[in-house]
Amino acid sequence: MQIVKLACERPEVAGRSLSQWDCEEICRQLVAEGIVTSIGRESVRTTLASHRLKPWRQHAWLSSKVPRDDDYRKKVEAICDLYTRELRPDERVLCLDEMTSLQPRPRKTGTKPACPDRPVQVEHEYSRCGAVNLFAAFDTRTGHVWGTTARRKRQVELIELLEKIDREVLPEITTIHVVLDNVSTHHGKLAKKWLSSHPRFIFTFPPVHCSWMNQVEQWFSILRRKRLRIVDFNDLAHLQARLHQFIAEWNQVAHPFQWTTQSFAKVMAKCENSTEPCLKVAA
């Protein structure tokens, strides 16, 4: 049971400077404490497996101290409504956020394409030449993406993207809901001033720690996988051009993501201080 005891404690309790236990480190600790003279990794692994323990794994979770109260519920329900209800002809729902510190990382030798029996080859060494930020907005009903790039991440750059959307969205669309997170860039005086002079734009903020509710994050994951998995751009201008090209190519085949109330119902089931039934789960 000493194996199980160690696995269920943080390594600091045993005086070790480790983030997590693994089988090899547990073996060393058992010997160091004089519990056994020797023990194999497989013996430790088998014992842990029989108790369904994997202390080398980790999972992020949200502490119960973060309130899931009526205010939390109302914010989640408001976003669920924006994503799942049928919109009026004069409405749009966009999700906006930023990808920050994107680096060109030019390689000392050009990336080589795949050939029979050999995958794509990427030079290990690269140079640094600054970073750029991508501001993007995703239309939840069509999948269309608007994007701008900038060296800095301020309210000025946010407004640049909003101005682009304002120019390109037809004036017949009189209500543009924008879902975006709670960073100060989205709450500042300049952003509020811009909103006051553009009444068709309405900002909606999810609760804190709920970035998963912003659909542009799903699109960012596609961008990372398809365009940024290999980072080998010549310079900042090259990186920016390829980001804009990717957005243009995406918009030719754009599609929305299928969100239903089921996703939100799982969250709402954990809401505290709620006496009303959870959001109806979609069939």
Element containing residue 160 per DSSP (H, E): helix 155-168
Average pLDDT score over residue span 156-162 = 97
Residue-averaged pLDDT of the chain = 90
Residue 63 — very low, low, confident or very high, per pLDDT cuts 50/70/90?
low
CB 116 within 8 A of CB 122: no
CA distance 114 to 116: 7
Q: Percentage of residues in the chain with pLDDT exceeding 70?
A: 92
Task: For residue 118, give the 3-state DSSP assignment.
Answer: strand
Residue 283 — very low, low, confident or very high, per pLDDT cuts 50/70/90?
very low
Residues 253-267 pLDDT 10s: 999 999 888 877 876
CB 201 within 8 A of CB 178: yes
Architecture category of domain 79-259 in CATH: 2-Layer Sandwich (3.30)
Q: Is 0.95 surpassed by the pTM of this model?
A: no
Residues 161-196 pLDDT 10s: 999 999 999 999 999 999 999 888 998 999 999 999
For the chain, give every domain's residue range: 2-50, 79-259
Q: Is the pLDDT of residue 84 over 90?
A: yes
- Which residues have a Cβ under 8 Å from the Cβ of 139 and sit 6 or more positions away? 92, 93, 94, 145, 254, 256
